[in-house]
Amino acid sequence: MGAQTLLTMNTKTFSLLPLLFALTVSTLGPHSTSWATSPASAKNAAQKKAVAQKKAAPGKKASAAAAAALPALAADESVVPNAPALAAKAWLIMDFDSGEVLASANANEALPPASLTKMMTSYLVEQALRAGKLKPTDLVTVSENAWCRGTSAESCMYLPLNSQATVIDILRGIIIQSGNDASKAIAEHMAGSEAGFAKLMNAEAQRLGMTNTHFVNPTGLPDPAHKSSARDMAILARAIIRESSEYYPIYAERDFKYNGIKQGNRNALLYTDPTVDGLKTGHTAEAGFCLVTSSKRNDMRLITVILNTHSMQARADLTRTLLGWGFSTFEKSTPIELGRVVTAAAVSGGKESTVPAVLGAPWLVTVPRGQQVQTRFEAQADLQAPVAKGAVVGKVIATSNGKTVGEAPLVAQVEVARANILVRAWNQLKRLFGQ
């Protein structure tokens, strides 16, 4: 067989690898070493990796079996009593709209997050783009520290040493390919070093209320001090969806081609569930197999987190179980229709003594199926004229089974002008005499 024939066969074989990785059940999160810089050397690295995985298979199967034999972790927090038990070190399901945790187990324990870390890396890039601090076409230089050096165990975008890539390509490389090289390069571009970027990561985590998180690097490569929790990962996922709407569709992209190499997204649910549109996979030996997922069905979006389960298949299956339970157990309810007058809010010093209060926007809450929703109104204290149309005059609170399930601002339906001094004096007298 000639050299040209062998080259053709190798090229065809490698071109199938992204699809095979994605259609299994995905992710290699950050590992520990690197890939080469050219398409040819990347192909060689992929072949070496396949051989290494084959040799390691018996040990991996044994450890997976041991992990699978552990008892499933029951919910220690749940809105309803029938939450599933899942074989992971921690798990959670959250309602996106309200941020309410519908069920969870061990959600506050600080655990290694592996490549889930890159959700914060991509989020900071997205926020910098939104603020104009970065432009999509800005060029990022690949330092020797960021460069993947040609070994076969690390997730990479295949950025050549000393090359430059645009910020938007870097962002795709982080989200879709889980590129450690892309993550390091943008960290150095934005903050001068990985350590400097970690300070930005931790400041943002604190702002978001991620109380069990400490980042050391932008990749999730193992470090004893690098930790996060299931609850914190859900908070971060919610922030990405809510605040990075322009860039969030990237999290649903199934593949990305860079430097002549096309790689598939490692989130297998993107290929099997059309309602799933993100977010991130992760894996290291210490962190196990992790997955943060978002799924929207009709008017309801749910976020799930699986930390430290025993296989790619398990993290996908556990996520399917959790999403199936969430969508079958909960529903959206409209406590008050848009345009309906909720109450008449008292106004001091106005031509009118009250103003009709209505919702400023459509309002939905998530409740267990079939459960009734009650509402109550809280007026803004000492509301003084003039009151502009659309000004907030109070809030309405929704409860279900005695528990608060949401709240929404109420706004003035009409303008209330300030009265002249005689009318104000007359109204004051009426209040004094209880009329």
28 pLDDT exceeds 50? no
Which is more confidently placed, 159 or 36?
A: 159
Specify whether the CB–CB gap between 358 and 342 falls below 8 A: yes
Query: Do 352 and 302 sit in the same domain of this protein?
Result: no
Q: Which of 43, 49, 89, 118 is catalytic?
A: 118
164 pLDDT exceeds 80? yes
Summary mean pLDDT of the chain: 85
What are residue 388's DSSP bridge partners? none
Residue at which a domain ends, from 283, 308, 331: 331
Which is more confidently placed, 217 or 428?
A: 217
Specify whether the CB–CB gap between 26 and 282 falls below 8 A: no
Query: Do 95 and 173 sit in the same domain of this protein?
Result: yes
pLDDT digits (tens, 9 = 90+) for 271-315: 999 999 999 999 999 999 999 999 999 999 999 999 999 999 999
Query: Do 320 and 368 sit in the same domain of this protein?
Result: no
Query: Do 416 and 321 sit in the same domain of this protein?
Result: no
Task: Tell me the pLDDT band of 431, cut-offs 50, 70 and 90.
Answer: low
Concatenating the DSSP letter of every residue in 52-108 gives: HHHHHHHHHHHHHHHHHTSPPB--SEESSTTPPPBSSSEEEEEETTT--EEEEESTT
Which pLDDT value is given to residue 423? 65
394 pLDDT exceeds 90? yes
CATH code at position 382: 2.60.410.10
| Cα(78)–Cα(100) distance, integer angstroms | 10
Residue at which a domain ends, from 331, 354, 373: 331
Question: Cα angle at 182 between 46 and 309, to 5 degrees?
Answer: 65
Q: Which of 115, 152, 183, 228 is catalytic?
A: 115
Query: Do 170 and 222 sit in the same domain of this protein?
Result: yes
Which pLDDT value is given to residue 42? 55
Number of separate domains in the chain: 2
Query: Do 209 and 77 sit in the same domain of this protein?
Result: yes
Active site residue 38: no
Residue 24 lies in a domain: yes
Q: Which of 34, 104, 178, 311 is catalytic?
A: 178
CB atoms near residue 58 (< 10 Å) = 9
Concatenating the DSSP letter of every residue in 165-180 gives: EEHHHHHHHHHTT--H
Query: Do 65 and 195 sit in the same domain of this protein?
Result: yes
413 pLDDT exceeds 60? yes
Which pLDDT value is given to residue 46? 42
Query: Do 190 and 301 sit in the same domain of this protein?
Result: yes
The lowest-confidence range among 64-73, 154-163, 378-387 is 64-73
pLDDT digits (tens, 9 = 90+) for 31-85: 333 333 455 555 455 444 433 433 334 344 444 444 454 579 999 999 999 999 9
| Six-digit token string for 251 | 């999290």
Which is more confidently placed, 282 or 402?
A: 282
Question: Cα angle at 8 between 6 and 13, to 5 degrees?
Answer: 95
Domain containing residue 286:
14-331
The identity of residue 157, as a single letter, is: M
Closest by CA position to 167, among listed 149, 145, 141: 141
Query: Do 315 and 360 sit in the same domain of this protein?
Result: no
404 pLDDT exceeds 80? yes
Residue 384 lies in a domain: yes
Residue 336 lies in a domain: no
pLDDT digits (tens, 9 = 90+) for 165-221: 999 999 999 999 999 999 999 999 999 999 999 999 999 999 999 999 999 999 999
| Cα(34)–Cα(269) distance, integer angstroms | 26
Query: Do 256 and 351 sit in the same domain of this protein?
Result: no
When pLDDT is averaged across residues 366-382 and rounded to a whole number, the result is 92
Active site residue 152: no
Specify whether the CB–CB gap between 351 and 414 falls below 8 A: no
Residue 399 lies in a domain: yes
Please report, rounded to a whole number, the percentage of residues in the chain having pLDDT higher than 90.
Answer: 72
Residue 147 lies in a domain: yes
Residue 225 lies in a domain: yes
CATH code at position 147: 3.40.710.10
Task: Tell me the pLDDT band of 149, cut-offs 50, 70 and 90.
Answer: confident
Residue at which a domain ends, from 308, 331, 354: 331
| Cα(305)–Cα(238) distance, integer angstroms | 12
β-strands 343-346, 330-333: how paired? unpaired
2 pLDDT exceeds 90? no
Active site residue 115: yes
Which pLDDT value is given to residue 428? 66
How far from the centroid of its chain's Cα atoms is residue 410's Cα? 29
Task: Tell me the pLDDT band of 349, cut-offs 50, 70 and 90.
Answer: confident
Residue 337 lies in a domain: no
Query: Do 362 and 313 sit in the same domain of this protein?
Result: no
Please report, rounded to a whole number, the percentage of residues in the chain having pLDDT higher than 70.
Answer: 80
Query: Do 101 and 134 sit in the same domain of this protein?
Result: yes
φ, ψ of residue 354 in degrees (nearest 5) = -140, 165
Residue 6 lies in a domain: no
